[in-house]
């Protein structure tokens, strides 16, 4: 029989939470073993080609895949971390002995503490024919497409409009796949408005109060029947419609993967706001079993940024307990991380999480400033359609038309309160402000703005535009973010669209900022007839124009 | 069905390798999973459900749902979505044409 290996900390799961936990502890001298089921680290980060929201401190504005590179690099450089890939934790016993299957061999470990960062699994949906090939979980589409470079289909119907559904739709379009529509059973869009707006500009319909009835096809998906729902979530008779598609992607939520925790008899409880059964835990992420911590989606479904901070809190808490020195410093860092989490969760989009946490008896020990838990603007139309209302727009445009006479100015089309600040941090002229709270809506100070266009590439929501109304007697220029292929050429004529993806006019490409700084979110200046400067928000480059 | 050019990603595919699907020779790349290689070759039906003979394909792609099970080099019930493709591998559909008598 193999020897039992003693360890200070075992981290189960190599996603954002696990990596952050391992690093936080190892940086204070704790010996860590990090196990990951797959043959590579990264969890969901490996598929995230979009820039992250959240605060700059936690890598906001950076693409998930690049955050991952940084984390892995740090892990590899850290001598206190041993990484066990292709390693499955099979069991954890009452005496805290953990068995791990690695390379067809069973290994036994006796860790002083464990952090479970096992993540989540996707929920399924009941409808006729839901087992056909061509029906995927959203994560599967992302894995095939972004990890292996394999196209899952040519025309996809997305079910669910949460952030994952919206993000995957955008990534499908980037990979050259058509998105037939996004179907959402709730009366409003589940994800952030900026993600939805991005898709609408590209012409993807978002059908709120709709659901899928059945999938069509014999060997493989050939279409779907969808229908409308009334306010009681009942089908509206006579609204059935057939959607042609060759894949159906389900993005109907995640549920924490608590199986291993249950083995160790960690107390769990059902909290719908957090995705299902979640472990009871304290503010330091410690479960009902001493020295057994959780972090990330397994502790409740939230964003990757929150998962990374939770990982840090768990890792630091272990370091504080085992460590011999720097306890005050660790304590300080734990406090900092907790404050950061609290800030992230303090806006209206954090409401659900806050409610879920309070059911676990957690409220970060403080009451949230309720001022931030309401939207500043009426965004009901935006959240139903993905398109901002006239009222919303008026709020963000200069109050006096003559401001446009000054020259190019940035317009922020971000109307929802959610934790995000790369626009604020990116502006070298301090022209964008969120009034001290990351959950506030950004406003541009038109006096300070020089129209440089830096924010256009830095906003992860692609919600920043620069408008130069009086570019010439008859034309205006709009700088728009662009993340597609083919890339435009200077002088090229492109098709220009409005916020609903409707064709407006032709435009001429007059300048392209597409260097290292823009990091693949080009800022493209398009000259258009003056009458469209308030509508032109997207453009397409015709494939045929390129050799 | 492979992505050639992508605005954000660049795919560093491994070396080309041969493998067999129900006896037919196909090309895949080192470093990808069996499921990804099959899908890239336009194969979406991996098996049939035992009783009702309903087609099965990838659903989760991360080893959680068991809908991608196939026989690989004679070993049944391999989760092809998390098993790396190897040179010369023989991959076979499961339960296709098999009668179950109860
Ligand atoms: S265009 Fe330049 S100056 Fe104006 S808000 Fe954006 S980054 Fe700041
Ligand atoms: S405008 Fe600012 S707050 Fe809104 S999505 Fe862009 S970076 Fe985030
Ligand atoms: S597709 Fe789910 S286990 Fe392979």
E strands present in A257-394: 268-271, 276-279, 292-294
Q: From the CA of A25, how far away is ligand 2's center (Å)?
A: 32
pLDDT in tens, A457-486: 999 999 999 999 999 999 999 999 999 999
E strand or H helix at A11 = strand A4-12
* B11 located within any domain: no
Test B59 with A219 for CB contact under 8 angstroms.
no
Q: Which residues of A308-345 are buried (b: 16+ CB within 10 A; e: fewer)?
A: bbbbbbbbbbbbbbbbeeeeeebeebbeebbebbbbbb
pLDDT in tens, A142-170: 999 999 999 999 999 999 999 999 999 99
- Which residues in chain B touch residue A135, judged by CB atoms under 8 angstroms apart? 59
Task: Report which bound ligand comes closest to the CA of B34.
Answer: 3
Q: Which atom of ligand 1 is closest in space to residue A426's alpha carbon?
A: 7
Indicate the top mutation candidate among B38, B64, B84 to test ligand 3's pocket, ranked by most ligand atoms within 8 A of CB.
B64
Find the CB nearest A150 among B1, B57, B63.
Answer: B1
* B98 located within any domain: no
Task: Report which bound ligand comes closest to the CA of A434.
Answer: 2
Test B60 with A485 for CB contact under 8 angstroms.
no
* B4 located within any domain: no
Q: Distance (Å) from the C-alpha of residue A507 to the closest C-alpha of chain B?
A: 22
Tokens of A501: 């993806």
- Which residues in chain B touch residue A147, judged by CB atoms under 8 angstroms apart? 36
Name A385's Cβ contacts closer than 8 Å, sequence gap at least 6. A200, A206, A208
pLDDT value of position B100: 46
Would the pLDDT of A364 be above 90?
A: no
Euclidean distance between CA atoms A228 and A212, whole angstroms: 9
* B45 located within any domain: yes
Contact A5, A102 (CB under 8 A): no
Find the CB nearest B7 among A39, A144, A520.
Answer: A520
**Least-confidence region, from A169-183, A290-304, A322-336, A533-547:** A533-547
* pTM of the full structure: 0.95
Tokens of A35: 């196990």
* B44 located within any domain: yes
pLDDT value of position B101: 46
Question: pLDDT band at A236, cuts 50/70/90?
Answer: very high
pLDDT in tens, A5-21: 999 999 999 999 999 99
E strands present in A448-521: 464-468, 475-482, 493-497, 503-513
Domain residues for the domain of B26 are 16-92
Check if A444 has its Cβ closer than 6 Å to any atom of ligand 2.
Answer: no
The tally of domains found in chain B comes to 1
Would the pLDDT of B102 be above 50?
A: no
Question: pLDDT band at A437, cuts 50/70/90?
Answer: confident
- Which residues in chain A touch residue B66, judged by CB atoms under 8 angstroms apart? none
The C-alpha angle with vertex A90 and arms to A88 and A95, in degrees rounded to 5, equals: 130
Partners of residue A4 on adjacent β-strands: A108
- Residue A357, classed as helix, strand or coil, is helix
Interface pTM, i.e. ipTM: 0.94
Tokens of A284: 């330091």
Contact A296, A13 (CB under 8 A): yes
- Among residues 248-267 of chain A, which lie with CB inside 8 Å of chain B? none
pLDDT value of position A489: 96
Q: Distance (Å) from the C-alpha of residue A511 to the closest C-alpha of chain B?
A: 19
Q: Distance (Å) from the C-alpha of residue A319 to the closest C-alpha of chain B?
A: 32
* B87 located within any domain: yes
Would the pLDDT of A545 be above 80?
A: no
Residue nearest to atom 6 of ligand 2 (CA): A459
CATH number of domain containing B24: 3.10.20.440
pLDDT value of position A53: 85
* B1 located within any domain: no
**Least-confidence region, from A92-96, A519-523, A525-529:** A92-96
* B54 located within any domain: yes
- Peptide bond preceding A486: is omega within 30 degrees of 0, i.e. cis? yes
């Amino acid at each position: 029989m193999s020897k039992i290996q003693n360890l200070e900390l075992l981290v189960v799961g190599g996603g954002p939470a696990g990596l952050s936990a391992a690093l936080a502890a190892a940086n204070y001298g704790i010996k860590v073993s990090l196990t990951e089921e797959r043959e590579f680290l990264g969890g969901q980060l490996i598929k995230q080609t979009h820039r992250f929201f959240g605060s700059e401190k936690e890598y906001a504005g950076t693409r998930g895949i690049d955050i991952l590179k940084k984390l892995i690099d740090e892990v590899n450089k850290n001598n206190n971390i041993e990484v066990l890939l292709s390693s499955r934790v099979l069991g954890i016993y009452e005496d805290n002995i953990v068995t791990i299957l690695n390379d067809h061999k069973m290994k036994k470990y006796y860790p002083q503490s464990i952090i479970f960062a096992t993540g989540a699994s996707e929920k399924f949906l009941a409808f006729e024919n839901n087992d056909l090939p061509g029906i995927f979980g959203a994560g599967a589409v992302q894995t095939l497409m972004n990890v292996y470079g394999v196209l899952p289909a040519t025309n996809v119907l997305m079910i669910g409009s949460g952030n994952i559904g919206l993000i995957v739709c955008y990534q499908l379009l980037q990979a050259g796949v058509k998105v037939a529509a996004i179907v959402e059973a709730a009366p409003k869009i589940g994800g952030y408005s900026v993600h939805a707006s991005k898709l609408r500009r590209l012409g993807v319909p978002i059908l709120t109060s709709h659901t899928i009835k059945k999938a069509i096809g014999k060997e493989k998906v050939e279409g779907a029947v969808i229908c409308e729902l009334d306010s009681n979530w009942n089908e509206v008779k006579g609204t059935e419609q057939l959607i042609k598609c060759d894949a159906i992607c389900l993005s109907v939520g995640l549920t924490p993967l608590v199986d291993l925790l249950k083995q160790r008899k960690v107390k769990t409880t059902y909290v719908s706001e957090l995705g299902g059964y979640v472990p009871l835990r304290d503010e330091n992420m410690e479960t009902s079993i001493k020295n057994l911590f959780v972090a990330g989606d397994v502790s409740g479904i939230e964003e990757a940024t929150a998962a990374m901070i939770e990982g840090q809190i768990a890792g630091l808490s272990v370091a504080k307990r085992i460590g011999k020195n720097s306890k005050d410093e660790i304590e300080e860092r734990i406090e900092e991380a907790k404050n950061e989490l609290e800030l992230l969760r303090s806006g209206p989009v954090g409401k659900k999480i806050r409610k879920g946490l309070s059911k676990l008896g957690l409220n970060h020990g403080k009451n949230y400033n309720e001022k931030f838990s309401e939207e500043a603007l009426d965004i009901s139309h935006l959240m139903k359609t993905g398109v901002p209302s006239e009222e919303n727009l008026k709020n963000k445009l200069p109050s006096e038309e003559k401001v446009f006479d000054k020259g190019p100015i940035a317009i922020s089309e971000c109307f929802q309160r959610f934790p995000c600040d790369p626009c604020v941090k990116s502006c070298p002229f301090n022209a964008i402000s969120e009034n001290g709270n990351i959950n506030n809506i950004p406003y541009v100070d038109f006096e300070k703005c020089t129209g440089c266009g830096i924010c256009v590439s830095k906003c992860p929501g692609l919600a920043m535009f620069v408008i130069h109304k009086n570019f010439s007697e008859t034309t205006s220029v709009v700088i728009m973010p662009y993340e597609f292929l083919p890339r435009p050429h200077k002088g090229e004529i492109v098709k220009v669209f409005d916020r609903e993806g409707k064709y407006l006019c032709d435009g001429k490409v007059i300048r392209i900022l597409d260097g290292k700084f823009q990091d693949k979110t080009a800022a493209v200046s398009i000259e258009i007839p003056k009458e469209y400067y308030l509508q032109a928000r997207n453009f397409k480059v015709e494939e045929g124009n390129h050799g | 069905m492979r992505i050639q050019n992508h605005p954000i990603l660049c795919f560093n595919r491994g070396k080309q390798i041969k493998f067999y699907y129900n006896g037919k020779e196909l090309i895949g790349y080192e470093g990808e999973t069996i499921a990804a290689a099959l899908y890239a070759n336009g194969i979406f039906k991996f098996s049939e459900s035992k009783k009702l003979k309903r087609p099965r394909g990838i659903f989760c792609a991360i080893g959680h749902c068991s809908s991608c099970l196939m026989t690989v080099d004679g070993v049944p019930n391999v989760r092809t979505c998390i098993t790396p493709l190897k040179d010369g591998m023989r991959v076979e559909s499961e339960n296709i044409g098999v009668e179950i008598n109860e």
